[in-house]
Structure 1
Amino acid sequence: MADAINYNYLMHRAMRGLMIELLEEIAQTGLPGEHHFFITFDTNHPEVEIADWLRERYSEEMTVVIQHWYENLEVLEDGFTVTLNFGDSPEVLVIPWDSVRTFVDPSVEFGLRFEVEDIADDASNENTPVDDESPMIEIEDDESDLRKDADVVSLDSFRKS
């Protein structure tokens, strides 16, 4: 057993699980009411599959909106696929969970921010200590961010110095 519990990893896994569960439900039943999602992901992730013209335009990250027009939302073990409309041109996107940086539902002021580094894909690292200066999940209020409407909780106040 390790010397410390890796709370960052456990929180990361729980937050990813929340996002996955929401997308699974939406894939089956559709979006209720005014709910919609802004999902920002790393376009340089090796398993991201998007059209070449999208990758050229969004060379580092891209935010997609799942709201009025989306089709074929499918939740997979390693990520999700969705068809979105870009200027009357439907495009299929394959987005791995590890590439997701933010998940926001502005209709209820909810947001998650995931650090790009994914320290522990392997469950065997669950109890491995993590450097406190580099949290795996950062949930904070950033007024300059497009998703500034979300109420977010900072986990930093719960950390031991």
Structure 2
Amino acid sequence: MSEFTNFIGSVSIEPPLNESEVLYLQRFSNTRRMARTSGPYSTVATGRLVVPDGDILDINEPPVGQPGLYCQWIPGESGASLEWSRRSKFPFATEWMSYIIDQFLKPGAALADEMAAPIKNRYYAPEFLEFTFNHTLNGEVVGVGEFGERCRIIVSGNQVRAEEG
């Protein structure tokens, strides 16, 4: 796919996200995903100019396990869908879709397991206490590149796959 790809469509979420889940995922999408001492889920806003502040380990390296520096999947207004934020350049769109589902949304999500583990001094957003980890995502998003090439990101029962063409 091209560096510049527009995505059409959304993936449905059942049951819809609650307010805490929507707010956190919006912040997550709006922050540069940098390796930080406060952990991979930190959503500390840095503005347009990123200045290392003691918490940032590397401004150009995403946290371990995250596919890139920007996640552009955001909840729809009602929390019943996941859609593209319409910001340009979205590499790793398929990988980010899998990450959001596997980490935060599906039954048995990684974050649910991490929160249950007795580890001290780990950063968690207050919203995580309201996360339900009971969502199933289904749907299809079509990507159209700047040169007309197409791909589809297909989500079925929380399983994500990509198809070219």
Same fold (TM over 0.5): no
TM-score calculated relative to the size of structure 1:
0.29
Higher helix share: 1
Question: TM-score normalized by structure 2?
Answer: 0.28
